[in-house]
Structure formats: structure tokens, C-alpha cells
């Protein structure tokens, strides 16, 4: 058990009951020329956290604590992509359309893959999720129950969308959740800052935040 001097108060990390969830570190969100950039976003902001996320993953692997990855993606026939999601706004390209790295956010397409630098190992679990939250329409609950996990550390993108949604889903399901604040990023700095505040407000109403160094140190005991 390693006690992290987290915000808004200490978090006792139990490696026997913890997992790292790395949200959507996918080529189409992070690499230049992908879907994220086509929506007008500065993807360099997201690319900048890759080494930190890598350090966090390495810390969990070294401690032999599970690392679970997620990918936001849909079936090729889009049967799991509601029109309300696909037809939102007026982007140049939509989910399922041909993009620079294959069909956008479709399972199996190159742009949907996790970036090479953070690729899952052969034994790590990858959850394919059609929604923003990783619990919706996935096997994540069963995976966590099977592994006896009650604490979740989060990293990935984007802070206020898929990361925050999944943290809230997890909190509602009774998990203790902590966000590694330097291993997550948003296209909008003000949204990241607000999300960190929201998560830990009112006595950790959603959960805790701490730095990658603090989490890795706690894992080492």
C-alpha cells in the first residue's frame, strides 16, 4: 500500500486491487493529419503527454499491476454508432468516412489503433468502446470484477470527454478513481483545468488527482 499525497487528500493505492486505464491514445486523436486535426484541433497538445503516459505505463508494468487500454471505435457497419453521434455538427469528415488513416474510428483501421509508442503488450486488455465512457456497451465491468480491481488510475485523452466520462461511470459503480494529471490532456487547456477541479471538488466528489511521479513512487512502495 503506497499513500499518495494526492488532491484533495491522501489516496492509499493498493497495487493488489488497482489497475491503470489508458483512455483512447489513438492515432486519429493524436497524430498530425488524423481525425482530431481535421476537426481543427491542435494535436501537438496531446502528443506532448506521450512520454509521460509511457512512464506511467512502465511503472504499472514494473509493479505487475494491470494496464488496460481503451479505443473509441465502431463496427464497420456503424450499427453501434447512433446517428445522434455521427451526424453531430458539420465536420469535413464523419465517423465511418474515409480519412487519412483509413475509415475514421472504425475498428481495425490504422487510425483507430493506439499509437506505436504506447502499444499494448500481447497480454494487456484492450477495451473497444463505442461511447465516451468505457463502461457503456463494453465488457469492462466483467474484466474488473474478474481481476478483483477496486481502484482505477486514469490517463489518456481527452480529459473532459472520454477520461472524465469514464471516471464518473467508475465512481458511480463504486470504484475509487485517481487521475494522473500530467498524463492526460485536452485540445482545450481551460477544459482540462476545469475537469481537474471538478473531479476533486467537494471532497473528491468524483475522485483524486496526482502526478505521474507520485503514482509511480507509490507503486514502488
* Catalytic residue annotation: 24, 129, 162
Residues numbered 185 to 214 that lie near ligand C5J (CB under 6 A) are none
Q: How far does the chain reach from its first CA to its final CA, in angstroms? A: 7
How buried is residue 184: exposed, middle or buried, by Cβ count under 10 Å (0-12/13-18/19+)?
Answer: buried
Task: Tell me: does residue 19 bind ligand C5J (CB under 6 A).
Answer: no
DSSP letter string over 41-102? --THHHHTTHHHHHHHHHHHHHTT--EEEEEE-B-TT-TTS-HHHHTSS--SS-TTSEEBTE
Site for ligand C5J (CB under 6 A): how many residues? 7
Rounded Cα distance between 11 and 141, Å, is 22
Rounded Cα distance between 94 and 174, Å, is 35
Of the pair 4, 206, the CB lying nearest ligand C5J is at 206
In angstroms, what is the minimal distance from the CB of 62 to ligand C5J?
26
In angstroms, what is the minimal distance from the CB of 64 to ligand C5J?
27
Indicate which single residue of 28, 31, 72, 181 sits in contact with ligand C5J (rule: CB under 6 A): 72
In angstroms, what is the minimal distance from the CB of 115 to ligand C5J?
13
Task: Tell me: does residue 157 bind ligand C5J (CB under 6 A).
Answer: yes
For 154, residues 6+ apart whose C-beta sits below 8 A from its C-beta are: 20, 21, 23, 163, 166, 167, 177, 178, 179, 180, 184
Rounded Cα distance between 164 and 200, Å, is 12
SS3 183: strand
Residue span binding ligand C5J (CB under 6 A) among the ranges 82-90, 155-163, 176-184, 205-213: 155-163
Task: Tell me: does residue 218 bind ligand C5J (CB under 6 A).
Answer: no
Residue span binding ligand C5J (CB under 6 A) among the ranges 6-14, 50-58, 154-162, 193-201: 154-162
In angstroms, what is the minimal distance from the CB of 187 to ligand C5J?
8
Task: Tell me: does residue 158 bind ligand C5J (CB under 6 A).
Answer: yes
**Count of CB atoms within 10 A of residue 203's CB?**
7
Of the pair 87, 145, the CB lying nearest ligand C5J is at 87
Residues in contact with ligand C5J by the rule CB under 6 A: 24, 29, 72, 157-158, 161-162
Amino acid at each position: 500500500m503506497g499513500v499518495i499525497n494526492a488532491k484533495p487528500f491522501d489516496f492509499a493505492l493498493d497495487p493488489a486491487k488497482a489497475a491503470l486505464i489508458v483512455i483512447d491514445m489513438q492515432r486519429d486523436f493524436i497524430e498530425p493529419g488524423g481525425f482530431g486535426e481535421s476537426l481543427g484541433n491542435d494535436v501537438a497538445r496531446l502528443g506532448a503527454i506521450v512520454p509521460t503516459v509511457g512512464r506511467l505505463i512502465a511503472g504499472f508494468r514494473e509493479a505487475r499491476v494491470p494496464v488496460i487500454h481503451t479505443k473509441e471505435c465502431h463496427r464497420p457497419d456503424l450499427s453501434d454508432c447512433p446517428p445522434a453521434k455521427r451526424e453531430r455538427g458539420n465536420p469535413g469528415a464523419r465517423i465511418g468516412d474515409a480519412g487519412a488513416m483509413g475509415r475514421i474510428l472504425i475498428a481495425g483501421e490504422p487510425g483507430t489503433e493506439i499509437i506505436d509508442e504506447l502499444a499494448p503488450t500481447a497480454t494487456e486488455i484492450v477495451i473497444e468502446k463505442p461511447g465516451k465512457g468505457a463502461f457503456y456497451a463494453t465488457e469492462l465491468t466483467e474484466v474488473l470484477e474478474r481481476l478483483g480491481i477496486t481502484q482505477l488510475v486514469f490517463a489518456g485523452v481527452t480529459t473532459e470527454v472520454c477520461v472524465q466520462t469514464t471516471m464518473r461511470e467508475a465512481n458511480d459503480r463504486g470504484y475509487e478513481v485517481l487521475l494522473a494529471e500530467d498524463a492526460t490532456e485536452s485540445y482545450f487547456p481551460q477544459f482540462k483545468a476545469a475537469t481537474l477541479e471538478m473531479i476533486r471538488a467537494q471532497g473528491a466528489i468524483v475522485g483524486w488527482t496526482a502526478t505521474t511521479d507520485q503514482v509511480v513512487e507509490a507503486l514502488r512502495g
